[in-house]
Amino acid sequence: MKIVIIGGKGTIGNKVTDHFSKNNEVLVAGRTSGEVTVDIADANSIKKMFDGIGMVDAIICIAGEAKWASFNDLTEDDYYIGIKSKLMGQVNLVRIGQKFLNPNGSITLSTGVLADDPVLKTASAAMVNGGIHSFAQAAALELEQGHKLNVVSLELVIDAYEKYKDYFLGHNPISMEKAVNAYVRSVMGQRNGEIIRVYQ
Amino acid sequence: MKIVIIGGKGTIGNKVTDHFSKNNEVLVAGRTSGEVTVDIADANSIKKMFDGIGMVDAIICIAGEAKWASFNDLTEDDYYIGIKSKLMGQVNLVRIGQKFLNPNGSITLSTGVLADDPVLKTASAAMVNGGIHSFAQAAALELEQGHKLNVVSLELVIDAYEKYKDYFLGHNPISMEKAVNAYVRSVMGQRNGEIIRVYQ
């Protein structure tokens, strides 16, 4: 399979890239690193990326940002950081990417446990994650050519535990193996419109 | 109690307004009708509304629009109709409205069954509903002065059944009494950060 992984150099992306690279042709795309440059917050950049790489069998997005701040500090503009990047960035990736997806190909988006179980300072971050969950379930109903669309929603992963543990008090981090397996399930499985939650 | 109901003249809003008007001072706000004029898609309009009506004990929003269209027809701009109105409109209502809410007051937002169980043509509409669910759970963690924030997510209501039944095939419409009770539960109950789902 030919797979493009947007955000394939990140904490989770690295492990996912390692896994799929064993038996597939993997292209890593990123805003500042990777073989291909893309900024998912810009629809034209997404279009340009696909024009460059052509048809693929799987699209995996492990990218997208949102502003973390106390609810009383978040301005309207702050919400639009996440809306343009993690929310509409991933929506546009599906809108545009499906045209470059071979029959029976898959698109996998990424959210996180905040969608279902938010913590302090995540009014914006949780919002964009929850929006993607409902979007994917709806859009999956209308995909063509056997295309699949799933979302991986992970608990805090062990490799990010030190950096984020003070935000996720009482959360149990998941192993990187479990994280990678969620992406494997989406790409290699038959489900469509599934939110693959890996919490514990 | 002094209650402002944004969208209090709509199909559901009418019934909610009737109920609360029996024992409370109710102000109905709307874009084109009601005692107060407000366009929730414009943060300045929300601010102006509250400057006019002053402190309240409860804010109920049964307003906000999103574009319905086939996934392949929805443009990026189409998504921003719902983002500006039903998503950020309701977020801004909480951001701004909390400053005009008496201690222990409540804010109730509205979404719908599409967040959890979308139908065709609702990639954008489902998205904004799901975003509000996660936003409210996150923002509720940080409210002050005993403020509460809940979301009412209704199945198709019987009074809208004829208009929408062809979209919601196999869905069982709920009674207007059940719809009203969801708002009563949010305003009069003690829960905070709850998604009050009334599906059947």
Q: In which domain, by residue range, is B91 found? A: 2-198
* Among candidates A125, A132, A134 on the partner chain, residue whose Cβ is nearest the Cβ of B118: A134
Confidence check: pLDDT of A200 > 90: no
- Tell me what pLDDT residue A55 has: 98
Mean pLDDT across B147-165: 97
- Tell me what pLDDT residue A139 has: 98
The answer to whether A46 faces chain B, any CB pair under 8 Å, is: no
pLDDT, tens digit, for every residue of A147-167?
999 999 999 999 999 999 999
- Tell me what pLDDT residue A140 has: 98
- Average per-residue pLDDT in chain A? 97
Give B95's contacts in chain A (Cβ within 8 Å): 71, 74, 76
The answer to whether B32 faces chain A, any CB pair under 8 Å, is: no
Mean pLDDT across B76-96: 98
- Tell me what pLDDT residue B14 has: 97
DSSP chain B: -EEEEETTTSHHHHHHHHHHHTTSEEEEEESSSSSEE--TT-HHHHHHHHHHH--EEEEEE---------TTT--HHHHHHHIIIIIHHHHHHHHHHGGGEEEEEEEEEE--GGGTS--TT-HHHHHHHHHHHHHHHHHGGG--TT-EEEEEEEPPBGGGHHHHTTTSTT--PBPHHHHHHHHHHHHHS---S-EEEE--
The answer to whether B134 faces chain A, any CB pair under 8 Å, is: yes
* Longest distance between any two alpha carbons in chain B, whole Å: 48
ipTM of the complex: 0.97
We report the CATH number of the domain holding residue A62 as 3.40.50.720
Task: Report the amino acid identity of residue B52.
Answer: G
- Average per-residue pLDDT in chain B? 97
Mean pLDDT across B109-129: 98
Residue A96 binned pLDDT confidence (cut-offs 50, 70, 90): very high
* Among candidates A72, A127, A141 on the partner chain, residue whose Cβ is nearest the Cβ of B118: A141
Count of domains observed in chain B: 1
Mean pLDDT across B121-138: 98
Mean pLDDT across B159-180: 96
Mean pLDDT across B177-190: 98
- Tell me what pLDDT residue B33 has: 84
pLDDT, tens digit, for every residue of B54-69?
999 999 999 999 999 9
Confidence check: pLDDT of B200 > 90: no
